């Protein structure tokens, strides 16, 4: 396996890169993107780079996980001349009061959603994250960390399995290493794995376990609320010893969704199955007669908190869709489609 293949390169990427290869440019994958400066991984190793004028003119950007075309001039810094169309990406609305979209990571295969078995335990937060993962097209796995400090592990696992039906739920201790081996077995050579979770949940500790070395800084969490400082300050891509890559992300204080309403349906398959039995096809599960979902809640077969979470997320996504804002997800997709279409029809220089 070549180094590029270890990073996730395959025949489809090679075909998409044909025009750039004909120009003598190198294929590279973005490992760090920080304030206009980039570290990229190539077949020959790491290199620093910046965006070329053509990429900036086209309104493109490169994020961690992107595949790019790299040009090395005889003198000076390497330039990113083209960003290959993404197979998928983890999006969110950027933190704050605005509506700016943010790509957390590109071309992701597997997302490890970390949730602490301490004060961080929150099935509703995981439900929200599962919607973002469904939009990305990646495969989710819920990781319950700090099993060594939990006296109610079986109960917590059942609660999380109810919030993430059909999704693997693994209990581990990143600190001691217990349960990490079965988790690592899910990561295949050439795949791209992202760690996602709040501050203090143990992402950096788990990253170090999977990488087999102390690469990421760690810190103790606060005793009163189980929260920690941002020891990871920006997204970074690391090559795993067994092949594939790991993207560690800073802790998310909030995950404002940027997704289509259908993504919530994918994350709540149990409710969608129940909804098929409702009397009305457009049932809102808010008291309509013949509502199979409400009946399941009354019978104790469905947690009322899960239904409330579902309705809240659906309302949030529908509001985003109705707004018709160019900063919304559909417009973001169209913008990238137009950029890549123009790039394909332009003869590389």
| Boundaries of every domain in the chain | 3-84, 89-248, 261-332
pLDDT attached to residue 221? 46
* b/e code 231-267 from CB counts within 10 Å (16+ = b): bbeebbbbbbeebbbbbbbbbbeebbbbbbbebbbbb
- Mean pLDDT across the chain: 85
pLDDT at position 228 over 90:
no
Residue 37 has which token pair? 């400066």
Domain spanning 261-332: CATH 3.40.50.300:
no
Who has greater pLDDT, 114 or 314?
A: 114
Per-residue confidence band for 120, with pLDDT thresholds at 50, 70 and 90:
confident
Per-residue confidence band for 86, with pLDDT thresholds at 50, 70 and 90:
very high
Architecture of the structural domain at 3-84 = Beta Barrel (2.40)
Helix (H) or strand (E) holding 186: none
pLDDT at position 127 over 60:
yes
CA 116 – CA 147 distance, rounded (Å) = 8
Residue 57 · residue 79 · CB < 8 Å:
no
Per-residue confidence band for 339, with pLDDT thresholds at 50, 70 and 90:
low
Q: pTM for the whole thing?
A: 0.83
Residue written as token pair 């998310």 = 252
Longest C-alpha distance within the chain, in Å? 73
Nearest in space to 123 (alpha carbons), one of 280, 307, 327, 331: 307
Domain spanning 89-248: CATH 3.90.480.20:
no
DSSP designation for 164: S
Q: 304-323 and 123-136 helices cross at what angle (nearest 10)? A: 40
Q: Residue 115: helix, strand or coil by DSSP?
A: strand
The distance of Cα 60 from the centroid of its chain, to the nearest Å, equals 20
CA 48 – CA 280 distance, rounded (Å) = 57
pLDDT attached to residue 97? 53
At 268-279, the pLDDT tens digits run 999 999 999 999
Residue 74: CB atoms within 10 Å: 4
């Amino acid at each position: 396996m070549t180094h590029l293949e270890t990073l996730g390169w395959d025949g489809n990427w090679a075909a998409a890169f044909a025009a750039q290869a004909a120009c003598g440019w190198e294929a590279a994958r973005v490992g760090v993107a920080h304030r206009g400066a980039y570290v990229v991984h190539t077949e020959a190793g790491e290199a620093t780079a910046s965006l070329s004028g053509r990429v900036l003119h086209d309104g493109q950007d490169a994020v961690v996980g992107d595949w790019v075309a790299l040009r090395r001039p005889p003198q000076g810094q390497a330039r990113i001349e083209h960003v290959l169309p993404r197979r998928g990406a983890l999006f969110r609305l950027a933190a704050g009061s605005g509506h700016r979209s943010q790509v957390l990571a590109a071309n992701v295969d597997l997302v490890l959603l970390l949730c602490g078995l301490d004060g961080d335990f929150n099935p509703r937060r995981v439900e929200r994250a599962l919607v973002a993962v469904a939009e990305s097209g990646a495969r989710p796995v819920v990781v319950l960390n700090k099993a060594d400090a939990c006296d109610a592990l079986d109960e917590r696992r059942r609660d999380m399995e109810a919030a993430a039906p059909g999704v693997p739920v693994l209990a581990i201790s990143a600190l001691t290493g217990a349960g990490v081996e079965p988790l690592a077995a899910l990561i295949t050579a050439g795949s791209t794995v992202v760690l996602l979770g709040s501050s203090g949940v143990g992402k950096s500790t788990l990253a170090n376990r999977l990488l087999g070395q102390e690469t990421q800084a760690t810190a103790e969490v606060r005793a009163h609320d189980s929260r920690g400082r941002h020891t990871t300050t920006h997204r970074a891509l690391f090559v795993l010893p067994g092949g594939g890559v790991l993207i560690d992300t800073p802790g998310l204080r909030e995950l404002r969704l940027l997704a289509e309403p259908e993504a919530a349906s994918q994350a709540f398959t149990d409710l969608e199955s129940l909804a098929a039995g409702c009397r009305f096809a457009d049932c809102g599960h808010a008291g309509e007669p013949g509502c199979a979902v409400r009946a399941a809640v009354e019978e104790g077969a469905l947690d009322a908190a899960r239904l409330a979470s579902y309705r809240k997320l659906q309302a949030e996504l529908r509001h985003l869709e109705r707004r018709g804002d160019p900063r919304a997800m559909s417009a973001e997709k169209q913008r990238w489609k137009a950029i890549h279409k123009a790039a394909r029809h332009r003869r590389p220089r």
